Chains A and B, each alone.
Chain A
């Protein structure tokens, strides 16, 4: 069912140096209490991000033996569909379209708890699929850029800057290659839906000979080294920590619109330990679990009662309507359509080369 094209597309998902088959284990420590329960979590979420959450959960439920396995998004998806493999109790992944597709096909079971019912409807689908985090897509630039051409705070400013200064910025701008990166492709689809001016922006990027890379990490490294002056469409949760460590960089959440992605979690219908799975997912949706995510990782939180930097509430008051969380709906299925992908990528290529086809003025 999954074609080689998608395979390539998925391998580059989110562009993080995801190392497959890492795992974490927390044995049951509560010897006197009830017989130990078991919980297997499969995720595409790096260990530094997941460990604080698991620790806290294990402290609350010491009788549950935790086993977390980290996959790439593609491996996670394939592992799930492979009947021979070990079954997961909870699935967490940032590949929104794939998580959505699994839930849409009826692979998820509903979670009926007060926390799940109170979860914001924009971050939830049918009590089955829950968006746990709130991660805006950002622009990162070096201070040199601001000094020479002024700060960039929005897509419109970026477009006008690129149109005015494409000669000076040649090879100085970096963004995702939608053909290589699943995340980049997802953002391209969403942005193309938001406004036709997106294609002007792609054309302007093409005119400035923007570098196309596969991961946020590559972009950040290039920016830190000074190869690039501006990176467009970086995953905010990873950029935030990096920019804090590199004072020469500036991170901007575009003020006209900013996409927001989420890590989606669900309990598979065939989960071997549904009781523990419900406890864990309910914990992730609880204020306590969200607080751990917000305070000990750079992933933004969704829970409406949490406040402070990195929370959905804080970002909404600061940026208002500009925040555009990727809608948890059937539109995501279009992202996975092979023909759609071909159509979008060919358009993207065409727009990227809009100016190169015309002789230099």
Chain B
């Protein structure tokens, strides 16, 4: 797993990298500019020197003649003590005089005849800047062409380039500094609401589930709304839990108080028959209380979102058969007609067998307690479905949702705990099955349908 990066760092990196690339580009540009400026300044020296030499070129003794002015060479050397080279060539490219046979102007003759050309050359391992002036004699009759070539090393230019660059460098560094400071402040202020949100969450009472109330920028407001929705759901869940706990304790207290009262009453009497009756009644009450406790336990287990049992493929027919077999004796004793309708082929669905058996058991038990005389357990393929139908009093359509709540007794009378349908509902949710309550055939009784989400193969 990648280490969780910091937003701050990520922002800084993505803003600073382009900034640094830009800075590097500016540096290169500044260097090139400085070099160009230095070259322009120093090329004036080459221009002046070639001019000073060209002015001294004459025609004498039937050939080109140069009375070399030492100052023309002196001006090519600045404080940086450059090496200086010069040469005079005639129009045919013949060497006349000079201290170095410098290369000439590679271009052709210009219209005007006078040209000045600068370039960088490598001459015997020395980096030279060369200036070449091509011109002609301004004599009465002679218009002899010639070329003055001078060159010097780059030390003076480098010194000027560096000093220009230093000036620019200070400017660029100041700009970069300002940019970085502004960037840091901007990123910090952009991330400040996040810090506020974190503080607001941290400062909350851990027991409160009230919505967060603080003004945030749009991006974070969405996060706040999502958080508030989650809190609202948690509030509802907790309200349900609190009511459940209240109901459960109430339900347990009533039979326990009954037991206690009955025992007290029996103790005041001496008649063993009375004791026997009381013990019998207490046994029935405690059995039903124990059953209530078991149901509460299984409901709690079903409602625990972290304990999701693994679903396996199983045959609903087998499950129905087991449930009917378990309930058979009780129903038979009460004279209830418990029947089963299953297709010949197995009806496969993903589920947990003991949970489905319990759901069916609860439904059968429910029907029995509310006075049904006939109970039918049914399985249907496509989609896989479990049904329990009875001919009891049924539930009015407007109360069918309410009865799924724990401890709600939709049907008056009867001795149920009020948990049976809630447990069935929990099991249905675990199996992602749909629980529907309908009236039975002929509009009487109750039909509870558990429809599974199809064969996933």
A residues at B contact (CB < 8 Å): 101, 104-106, 125-126, 189, 193, 327, 329-340, 343-344
Contacts and interface: CB of A to CB of B under 8 A. Distances in A.
Contacts of B125: 106
Given A106-B124, A193-B70, 15 more contacts: A104-B84, A104-B99, A105-B83, A105-B99, A106-B83, A106-B125, A125-B81, A126-B81, A329-B77, A334-B73, A335-B70, A338-B97, A339-B67, A339-B68, A339-B97
17 contacts: A104-B83, A104-B84, A106-B125, A329-B73, A329-B77, A330-B76, A331-B71, A333-B73, A333-B84, A333-B86, A334-B70, A335-B70, A337-B99, A339-B65, A339-B66, A339-B96, A340-B68
B99 A336 contact: yes
B113 interface: no
A337 B126 CA distance: 22
A299 to B, nearest CB: 25
Contacts of A327: 74
B73 to A, nearest CB: 4
Interface string B75-95: 011000101111000000000
Q: For chain A, what secondary structure do more than half of its interface residues adopt (helix, strand, loop), or is it mixed? A: helix
Q: For chain B, what secondary structure do more than half of its interface residues adopt (helix, strand, loop), or is it mixed? A: mixed
Interface in B84-130: 84-86, 96-100, 124-126
A330 B67 contact: no
A329 B74 contact: yes
Nearest to B49: A330
Contact-residue size bin, chain B (C-beta under 8 Å from the other chain)? 20 to 34
A330 B99 CA distance: 11
Contact of B73 (A125, A330, A338, A343): A330
Interface of B: 65-71, 73-74, 76-77, 81, 83-86, 96-100, 124-126
A24 B451 CA distance: 122
A330 B126 CA distance: 17
Contacts of A339: 65-68, 96-97
B65 A343 contact: yes
A331 B65 contact: no
Contacts of A334: 68-70, 73
Contacts of A125: 81
A181 B350 CA distance: 122
Contacts of A336: 99
B158 to A, nearest CB: 14
B76 A337 contact: no
Contacts of B126: 106
A344 B100 CA distance: 21
A101 B65 CA distance: 22
B174 to A, nearest CB: 34
B360 to A, nearest CB: 104
B67 A343 contact: yes
B128 to A, nearest CB: 11
A144 to B, nearest CB: 39
Contacts of A340: 66-68, 97
Given A337-B97, A339-B96, A339-B97, A331 B67 contact: no
A319 B17 CA distance: 66
